[in-house]
Each structure stands twice: as C-alpha cells, then as structure tokens.
Structure 1
C-alpha cells in the first residue's frame, strides 16, 4: 500500500494566513465591534475588513497597525506584523524572488546553508543545486531567466551558487541526496557539459559526508515522484514549484516530508548500482 505523502505545499502558508486572520478577527470581537464598525474606524470599505478577516486579502503592515489601534490593541501590532511577514515568506513567487536577478537569493541563503548540519534533498527535475557544476548551473539558470523574464545576472548567480556550494567540502555538514534517474539524462546544458556534471557527481558521491541515492526508472514506487524539496535539519523544508518557493516550517508537515524522504530512500539504489546508472547516462550524453 502506498504511504501517505505531503499535503499541498500551499497548505502551511494558507494555514498561517488563516491563523493571522483569526487573531485579527478575535481582536475585533474582544473590542465588541461589528465588521462594519471596525471598517468605519479604520476608514475602509466594509468589504476590505471582511476580506482580511476571512484571509482573502493579506493585510499590509499599515493595515495591521490600523486594525489593532481600532480595537484598542496597539500593543499587539508588532507581534501580528511579524506573524504576517512569516506567513507571506512561506509562499513566495519566483517572479518576486528573482525580480532583481538570481544572485541575491543565492547570497541570502548562505547563512541557512552554513548552519544546517544535515541536508536531505530530493531532486526530481534537475541536479541538486549544491552539486551543480558551473556549466550545468549556467544552462539551468539561463533557461529559468528566459522563462521567467527576469533580469539576466546568470554569470553572477552562477558564481554565487558555486560559492554557496562550498558547504559540501567545508564544515561539518552531512548530505543525504536522492535523485530520480531521469534527472541524469535531462539536457539542461550541452552534452559535453552534462558529461562533466555526471562525472562530478561520481566524484562527490565518494565523499564520506555524502550519501547519494538514485531512484531507478523501474523502481516499484511506494511514493510517486514529487516536486523537488530541500530539508534543512528538522526545522524547515523548501519546496520548489513552477511558480513559487514554499517554505514549510510546521513540525507536522516537516515530519511528513521527512517520512516521504525515507520512503523514497528505500526505493533508491546506492554505491556500485548508482554508479552504473550514472555511467549509462554518461554513455548516452556522449552518443
């Protein structure tokens, strides 16, 4: 029987938004105000107050301050603003993340990578970022930039990604990495560059701090292919969708992703069997 797999990656973000809305609406009720009375005090149309209370509209920092003041709870504004920012950071569209190019996002995540002791990464579409060669990363990031229509800072972004990847070779970090076999064959760069990438994969899997598993195409699946996700210790999981990055921090959902990782690990091959699959991919890229 197939094991349960993670809920929609939007669920944590939506739950956080709903929790914030419930806290704001609780302030309104504690103040003895109707929705109409609150809207009047805030200088808003009634429909805006209703949308915020039902988590249909994300309130700005100013909206939260105004709401709290209207309810006589100005001292709670700072805490609620922090909760709102946290909720919005859980689901961030790539267009927003990459609005100034991709270099900055790589540099901003360096502290997260440096403090993570145990990485668990599942890659179903491309090589894990920390294992990408500069040539592979260039092909990938250029295609992303073209597709998204965001500023082209590919060369700088590749340098930043490569610099961030030093955690594989420096510090006390452990990596458990799972790759779907198809990833070995996807041509996100030219054939010779893909060969270089695959040979680097063979090299890095020999490191004592790296465990690399490959899920064969013919594996009997107990968990179907999922969107790529990165687990940072037991605290956070970053899920990569087509349109956004979803940061999961709720313990129950983090646990579910880690359970899925365990199931996927059982389907993977390691060591000589994994090297054989990589060698087959090298032969294919050379042909």
Structure 2
C-alpha cells in the first residue's frame, strides 16, 4: 500500500522538532518550577501554600476570575452574536475594539480603569454617592479581569456563529418552534463547546493577570491582594521557593480546570451529535 505524500516531509524529524520546541518552551519551565517548589520540605510547602494570607489571595484571584469569566460568557456571546448577525454603522470599529485588551499593555489598562473608577474618576464620581466603590475593592479586581477576558470569549464563539446557517433557524420557525426553543435546541448546543473554551481561556488568563489588577486593587493584604502579587512580593524577598510553591498551586488549578472543560466539551459534542 503506497503512502500518501505529505506536504511537509519527514514525519520523524518534524515530530522531533515539535517535541523539542514544546519541551523547551513549555515543559522545561514547568519542570523547573515544580523542582524549585519541592526544594522545600513537605511541611514548609504546605505552610507556604496554606498560609492565611495566601488563602485569602486564592479566594480573591479564583473568585474574581470566575465572576469575570462568567460575565464574559454571557456578554461575550451577545457581542459575538451582534457582530455576526447584524450590519450597522461602525461595525468594523466595534469589531476591532474587541481586540483592544489583547493589544493594550496590561499596566496601561490598569491605569485607565483606575482613572475611570476611582472615587474622583469619570465613572467613579457618579458611583460613589450611590455607595458603590469600585477602585481599591474586590469589585475593581473583577472589573479588571472582565475587561481583559472579553476577547477570549468573543473570538472563540464568533467563528462558530458564522458557520451556523440561518436556514436552520428559519426551518425551525416554519415548523412552529418558538425563538426560545430554537435557541435552546439548535443554537445553544452548537455554540456550547466554543463557549466553554472561551470561558476556560478567559478564566485561565484572569487567574494569572497582574498588570491590569495591581493598580485598581489597592493591594491590601487579606482584602484586595491577588495571588500573582503575593508571588511577586516573595520574589522581591528572594523567597524563590515560596514563590514557586504559590505558582504551583495556580498551575495545578489551571490544569484541573482545563481538564474539566475538555471533558465537558467532549460530552457536549457527543450529546449534540447524538
């Protein structure tokens, strides 16, 4: 049986280069991170990662990241839907602005959000009399993480919506299906894997976000201190093993999240196919 010619010759050589590159860029740094973290004794490791200040930072980092990713899950879908299904003046500008958090330096984003939501900021000056304080509170952290996570959901869902044919929705409507049933039985199952992927990407990015949060949070221990900031603080104290231990916690949590999302994607794809 003749082998089909490949566009890129040399499977073994190509695989070797790919494995070497992945090892150099991804696996080797992670291996060094784990090695540095476990240079501590088990007692020292657990004391570091279960320190009350560290636990408070986990709660804020994971909680704010989950809130931001959940908000983007809803509004990112709406933005993608509008960009795909409607034509309006300035559509290309809006489409380009969605990618702004990708291109904008995170420190610039943090300064801009702080200027907006500070008590004397453009928006904060109207929220403060209502008793709503955004800057230097956990709410401000959630706002920053929502800002940086929006493009992940929009750009993941948008191509899927573009591939969906409107004729399917029209056929469902002609058969008497309501808009809600059409969305629940046809549209939602089709975009669910993409929504889960966008949620996972936004959540994973938010967990490790530093630059856009450090300005608006105020960095108060036990209140507005995120885990990446605590890692930086330990690095400034030359406590590299302690910083690596906290980083391992974030890394393991991200791996578990991605595994769960992949399982849900596989389940939803099989369910939609069935």
TM-score, normalising length: structure 2 = 0.25
Q: Which has the higher contact order (CA 8 A, sep 6+)?
A: 2
TM-score, normalising length: structure 1 = 0.25
Q: Which has the higher helix share?
A: 2
